[in-house]
A and B are shown apart, each in its own frame.
Chain A
Amino acid sequence: MVKLYEIVKKNLKILIRSKSSALIILLGPLLLILLVGSAFNTSSFSEIAIGSYSGSYSELSNSILTKLETDNYKVTRLENSQQCTDGVKSGVVNICIIFPDNLNVESGEEIELYVDQSRANLVFAIKSAILSKVTERSDELSKDLTETIIGQLTQTSAELQLKRDEIINVQQKNSDLRSKVGELESNIINMNVNFSELSLIVSEMENETNELETEYNKSFNALNNLIDSIDAEINSFNALDASRTNALSKISEVNTDLSSSNLQLQTIRDTTDSIITRIEAIAVTDVDSIVSPIKTTTKPISKEETHINYLFPTLIMMVVMFVSILLSSITVIREKTSAAFFRNFISPTNSIVFIFATYLTNILIVILQLAIVFGVMVSFNPALSSTLINISLALLIITTTFILLGMIIGYVFSSEETATIGSISLGTILLFFSNTIIPLETLPTGFRQIANYNIFVIGEAIIRKIILFESSLKGISKELYLLGAYILVFIVIIFVIYRASTELYNIKRHLKGK
């Protein structure tokens, strides 16, 4: 224990008394976190420059630009499309929007967005933000158009409803007419029967008159006159009969026409009913629902935070990774290349004590830095203090992993320069194959699967879960076990290479000394 204390004390003293080390390793990350903290403590994009060009700005294109300006985007109207795209290339503007001349809803032309794909992260963010603004305006226009269509349909439905009633009325009247015509027909037919009987009577009267003529010649002339009058009457009745027959025929025709008209009215009524039913069957008449039948809302699974809070897991991982790897590799290599190393080596002290002391020295420094970083972060977001216990434990494990990795680098390399390059290279590889530069999802499947085991990715996932989702230790147990496995493997590697690497280094130094 005394030895451990003395070694750690010695390591810390040497580190602190070396001005350059103290400045770079101790103050560097703190400065970084302060700068980043101050710079990113906002939840919106600022100073995003948008270049726009149109041969002729329409009301629609102007309204889109106004919307962007309202959201604090810096919009510059450029003189031609070339200037606009060149602006993206030179970085004067972050995105270039080219509107078609006199853009309007009917034209169906497309708005062109020019972005610098090499600035992957920015492009995704800006493109998405600007597209959302354009889509917002597009939705507004769709709503207006749909509202008009729905209005027209509603009005048509109402008018059809009125006409339907009128059709029913006409149908009713038609039916009444038909029944009256039927009645008339029957009356006429009945009238027809009376005429036949009268003719028979007249015939009988004629026969009896002829008999009377024979029997009674006295009044012959008078009777003849009577017979003539009766004949005239019969002729008149015959003419009436003809007219009746004609009337019956016409009534029959009217009846047929009425039936046909009634059928047509029924068809019109059915069609009207069908149209009304179809219009009424349009269940969704809400304009919003028609314009966006499926509504999506992006809801944050954590509380809405400023950029710094979203950046914090990545930021803290970067600090932890680079400080831990660099610090531990430099501590090991400085010890190894120190003239005093030989005296340590030949002292009656087990190598485990030196290895553990190196680890302890590094973890103490990193913990101190993290405490300051965390303190700064809590000042930006006081809610973070509730995660203190979980985050401390998680950071201890993550930091341990990186320190051991750095120690391996220190034991493998034989000069401070190569160890530093090795540390930075390794850190950069770990950083590159994480979500920080480009999303892991863009990598080929094989690489992605490997990258999922990247210590940086695992560490970042742990910190994000704790800080943003307030996850419990149980919720991050899988990741912690993975890091635990890494730690065990690294410890074994360190013990294997410690003796071999120091001996190899001493041989090199010995031979070089000659």
Chain B
Amino acid sequence: MVNQIEIKDLTKRFGNHVVLDNVNLSIPQQKIFGIIGESGSGKTTLLKTIIGFWRSDGGKIQFEGRDLEKNTKFIRQIIGFATQDSGVYPKLTAKENLEYFGSLSNVPYSTLKNNIEKVLKFVELDYAKNELAENLSGGMMRRLDIACALVHNPRILILDEPTEDLDPLLRREITNLIRKINSDSTTVIITSHLLDETEDLCDEIAILHNGKVLKHGTPEQLRDSFSKEEEIIINLHSKKYTTLMAKLKNHKKSISSMKVENGKLVIRTRNAEPVLVEVLRTVDRLKDKLLEVDVRKASLGEVFESLVRKGG
């Protein structure tokens, strides 16, 4: 896999406060790369430093093998950036905003005209292209912001907390849009503190805490690094798990724990398959009704929580 962005020992300070502390990251091409962390962990600073908005206090940043410091103009040409605050002019229409930002990115007028039409359709804003940005709804505004970041056909799209402050429907709308953008061979880097969403969306994730990268890898790799165990979640109609738990004691060797959480039985095991067969057989014998069964690894939230606790 080709890495599009290489970050080595990146350090950034604001006064005496170290915001990024020797950050090392490799961001692959045409993937969705997530950076997760608590508020104030340095996510936004990392993004703004890698695009040259902040001058770094140490380290090296390379885009497609080119140093950021020497190739700022080129790098700004190949990236699109959308912030959590909508970076558009409220007094301009959607189309005017796109025209303006497109022209700043050296897109020839004829190409820009096509790009605008394409991008407006892509983000499903073509019907509101003549509306002043200040009159757009939250979701539309976020889509316009992303459209402005895409209007010059960037190879890398950086989105800083794109689903922040959005309701679940709009959030889904935006995550779908991100997938759509990525499917168009655009590398997407997003930051978020919404772990479930990032886990679903991203091909690779870096966990940032106190300006340091605690872990970096695919969601699978992160979960594996946390624990080899899997969780079997059972939801019975009777909510009577005592008999079931007693029957499963025969598999004591492979089951590390069993507990009832929120009306569901959660079984942790290193060997999920035989345990699950036994669970299904027992439920059948008990003539109970199985409402839900789920087998999954430890959630990214758990991994994150565990890492932060260790790292903090």
Contact = CB atoms under 8 A, between A and B. Distances in A.
Contacts of A346: 51-53, 76, 79, 81
Interface string B14-45: 10000000000000000000000001100011
Interface stretch (A32-40, A138-146, A199-207, A334-342): A334-342
B99 interface: yes
Contacts of B76: 346-348
A295 interface: no
B89 A14 contact: yes
A13 B81 contact: no
B284 to A, nearest CB: 56
Interface in B84-133: 85-89, 91-92, 96-97, 99-101, 103-106, 109, 132
Contact of A2 (B79, B88, B109): B109
A359 B96 CA distance: 21
Contact of A339 (B53, B74, B86, B109): B86
Q: Which residue of B53, B87, B109 has the most chain A CB atoms within 10 A of its CB atom?
A: B87
B19 to A, nearest CB: 9
B77 interface: yes
Nearest to A345: B53
Contacts of B83: 339, 342-343
Given A2-B109, A10-B100, 15 more contacts: A6-B104, A13-B96, A18-B91, A338-B89, A339-B87, A342-B81, A343-B88, A343-B148, A344-B104, A345-B53, A346-B51, A346-B76, A347-B105, A348-B74, A514-B40
A514 B44 CA distance: 11
Question: SS class of chain A's interface: helix, strand, loop or mixed?
Answer: helix
B53 A342 contact: yes
Contacts, number: 79
Contacts of A17: 91, 132
Interface stretch (A66-74, A403-411, A503-511): A503-511
Interface in A476-512: 503, 506-507, 510-511
A270 B73 CA distance: 111
B77 A348 contact: yes
A3 interface: yes
Contacts of B52: 346
Contacts of B103: 2-3, 6
A238 interface: no
14 contacts: A3-B103, A6-B104, A10-B100, A14-B91, A342-B53, A343-B87, A344-B104, A346-B51, A346-B52, A346-B53, A348-B73, A506-B54, A507-B14, A510-B44
B227 to A, nearest CB: 33
Interface residues of A, number: 28
Given A6-B104, A342-B53, A347-B101, A13 B91 contact: yes
A510 B45 contact: yes
Contacts of B54: 503, 506
Interface of B: 14, 39-40, 44-45, 51-55, 73-74, 76-77, 79, 81, 83, 85-89, 91-92, 96-97, 99-101, 103-106, 109, 132, 148-149
Contacts of A13: 91-92, 96
A349 interface: yes
A341 B40 CA distance: 22
A503 B48 CA distance: 12
Contacts of B40: 514
Contacts of B91: 13-14, 17-18
B305 to A, nearest CB: 22
Contacts of B74: 348
Contact of B89 (A10, A342, A348, A511): A10
Contacts of B97: 340
Nearest to B19: A510
B223 to A, nearest CB: 30
A14 B92 contact: yes
A349 B104 contact: yes
B86 A347 contact: no
Nearest to B53: A346
B92 A10 contact: yes
A343 B81 contact: yes
B54 to A, nearest CB: 8
B149 to A, nearest CB: 8
Nearest to A514: B40
A345 B105 CA distance: 11
A9 B103 CA distance: 12
A507 B87 CA distance: 17
Contacts of A343: 81, 83, 87-88, 101, 148-149
A347 B52 CA distance: 11
Contacts of A3: 103-104, 106
Nearest to A507: B14
Q: Which residue of A2, A17, A338, A347 has the most chain B CB atoms within 10 A of its CB atom?
A: A347
Interface string A12-32: 011001100000000000000
Contacts of A344: 104
A474 to B, nearest CB: 43
Given A10-B100, A510-B14, A348 B86 contact: no
Q: Which residue of B54, B55, B91, B149 has the most chain A CB atoms within 10 A of its CB atom?
A: B91
Q: Which residue of B40, B97, B100 has the most chain A CB atoms within 10 A of its CB atom?
A: B100
Contacts of A348: 73-74, 76-77, 104-106
Given A13-B96, A506-B53, A339 B88 contact: yes
Contacts of A503: 54-55
B100 A6 contact: yes
Given A2-B109, A18-B91, A510-B14, A339 B100 contact: no
A10 B96 contact: yes
A6 B108 CA distance: 13
B71 to A, nearest CB: 11
Interface in A447-470: none
A-B pairs, 9 with minimum CB distance: A347-B104, A6-B103, A343-B87, A348-B76, A17-B91, A339-B85, A14-B91, A348-B77, A348-B73
Contacts of B104: 3, 6-7, 344, 347-349
A10 B89 CA distance: 9
